[in-house]
Amino acid sequence: MNHGPLIFLAAFFALAGSWFSFVLTPQVQVGRLDQTNTVPAGATYPVSRPGLAREGLDVYRANGCAYCHSQQVGQTGVTCDVLLTAVGTNQPALLTALLKVKPALTDAEARRFLAELPKPVLEHVTKEAADAAAKALNSTGGKAQVWIVPMGPDIARGWGLRRSVAEDFLFDYPLMLGSQRIGPDLANAGVRLPDPKWHLLHLYAPRTQVKGSMMPPYRFLFEKRRIERVPSADALVLPPELAPESGFEVVPKPEAKALVGYLTSLRADAPLFDAPLTVAEAAVESSTNSVAGSVTNSASGTNAPVK
């Protein structure tokens, strides 16, 4: 072996190169990530999970949920919709503009269209086309908005409104990203299925809630016990073939409650700068209110970053 130093150097640079690009670069990129604000509402995002949900993360991890469920929504593109919300004062001009923006409409159809507002004028167009159309409609006194609409197979499946970004996982350790999708993605499980009762039944007997589900039942997270005086408020309402004999009830153990707390806390749908998205104004209001409330409760309301 007469090229020992050369081989050493080659191996060294190969390893140093991968360390540089897979350890150092991500650290520089997102290592100091901090809470951010939603756009445009300016609410603090993310807020840390409540205690029960944080415990549920450990249950999620211990039971290997991440082997079959991912928590990352992909996005392949972004498009724009133009939404017309109000006619304004100059209906004839708006009608002309609408016919110009949507040449396929007949005059009568356009009149009917204006009677059914708010309604999308254009869907899934480029930003430039949407801006131009909104400008044309707004110049007549109508009220048109450009909506940012993320696209992709995951979003089409209803697994989320936008892609997952690093901020979504800011308070989670370890990250339960998952790589297999034997079950559906859970990044927005709390948005899609906000009912804790549904989750408890689903954990106890998946096929009662999802037909043909291949998820194994997690009955060891539940306890069958004799009813003492009054039945528990937590007892599962089971179909007859699964119900325990009379005088007994099935109640979730603390682990099951924690896990359900975690699952219902999975909401990665806030509009952020790095994952732009338009949400309905009512949703903006309610999300800012709820977040503002919870921040005040944790006595850090004044420290909320303001952009």
Partner 1 sequence: MSLPSTQIPTIAAADLPEPRAGRRPVPVWLILLLFLLLYWAMVYFDQRSGWFDQNVYIPFTSIQEVAKFQPVLSGADELILRGKQLYSANCAVCHMENGIGNPANGCPPLDGSEWVLAPGPARIIRIVSKGLQGPIEVKGTVYNTGTMLAIGDAMPGDEKQKSESIAAIISYVRKTFGKNASAVTPEQVLKVREEIKDHSGYFTPDLLKGVPETP
Which of the stretches 9-17, 90-98, 162-170, 196-204 binds partner 1 when contact is defined by CB under 8 A?
Answer: 162-170
Q: Nearest approach, Cβ of 104 to partner 1 (angstroms)?
A: 26
By CB neighbour count within 10 A (0-12 exposed, 13-18 middle, 19+ buried), where does 96 fall? middle
> How many helices, marked H, and strands, marked E, lie in the chain?
12, 7
Instruction: Please tell me the distance from the alpha carbon of residue 16 to that of residue 24, in angstroms, as a whole number.
Output: 10
Closest CB to partner 1 among residues 105, 292: 292
Span 135-154, contacts to partner 1 by CB under 8 A: 146-148, 152
Closest CB to partner 1 among residues 85, 180: 85
Render 268-284 in DSSP notation, one character per residue: ----BSSS-----HHHH
Q: Nearest approach, Cβ of 289 to partner 1 (angstroms)?
A: 8
Asked whether position 70 contacts partner 1 by CB under 8 A, the answer is: no
Span 40-69, contacts to partner 1 by CB under 8 A: 40-42
CA distances from 78 to 81, 152, 163, 214, 226 (A): 10, 8, 10, 33, 55
Closest CB to partner 1 among residues 38, 265: 38
- Given a contact cutoff of 8 angstroms between Cβ atoms, the answer to whether 46 and 35 are in contact is yes
Span 78-107, contacts to partner 1 by CB under 8 A: 78
Closest CB to partner 1 among residues 143, 267: 143
Interacting residues with partner 1 (CB under 8 A): 1-3, 25, 28-30, 33, 39-42, 75-78, 127, 146-148, 152, 163, 165-166, 271, 273-278, 281, 288, 292-293, 296, 301-302, 304, 306-307
